[in-house]
Amino acid sequence: MSQLPSQPVTELLVRWRGGDHDALELLIPVVYKELRQIAHYHLQRERPGHTLQSAALVHEAYLRLLDQKPFEAESRAHFLAVASRLMRQILVDYARGHAAEKRGAELKVDLDAALVVCQERSAELVALDDALSQLSQIDEQQGRIVEMRFFGGLSIEEIGDVLGLSRSTVKREWNVAKAWLSRQMKRGAHGEAPAVAEG
């Protein structure tokens, strides 16, 4: 993902923040491409050699960006981090079955199609989302790291850039977050209350 120049994005972000709506029009195709690359990375891991198109998820993220007010994003990586959050919301909306209410008919078809495919995993996704929300209350930074890593496909280095942390710190936080989520999801599955360290 690093082959794209980051400077134009930064400039566009500044212009957008300054109220220039045209800047978002220019920005979105760049983000779209990057999100496609994130998706491609996932695809390559799964099935080497396949070049498949991402579509509905990225498209939905794109539309939600249009709906949003400009946010404070200093860099390409930061912008992608926000896009990661949108993708999380989209996936979880699917899984919870609310996606259909939010968009028009044409996109609904795509979203429904994706939902059918995702259905068998949707309980896990909802459990993950619940656990992640709880983790964010205990440790906001870990919550953000998980969001960017799981939902945005950002690398440890990129997350470090966004949060202003060293690679080793991100890795340490990521390790602990994974352990906490894994434990929390198991407890959730057994109906136990969320727990923080007592004492």
1 touching other proteins, by CB under 8 A = no
138 touching other proteins, by CB under 8 A = yes
Name residues contacting other proteins, limited to 64-103 (CB under 8 A). 88, 91
63 touching other proteins, by CB under 8 A = no
CA distance 1 to 92: 25
- In this chain, which stretch among 3-11, 24-32, 158-166, 176-184 interacts with other proteins, using CB under 8 A? 176-184
Asked if 13 and 79 touch (Cβ cutoff 8 Å), the reply is yes
Q: Could you tell me the CA-to-CA distances from 144 to 8, 72, 150 in Å, in that order?
A: 25, 16, 10
Angle CA 103–106–110, to nearest 5: 85
- The tokens of 6 are what? 């980051």
Contact residues toward other proteins (CB under 8 A) are 39, 42-43, 45-47, 52-57, 88, 91, 110, 113-114, 116-118, 121, 124-125, 128, 138-139, 142, 150-151, 153, 172-173, 175-176, 178-183, 185-186, 196-199
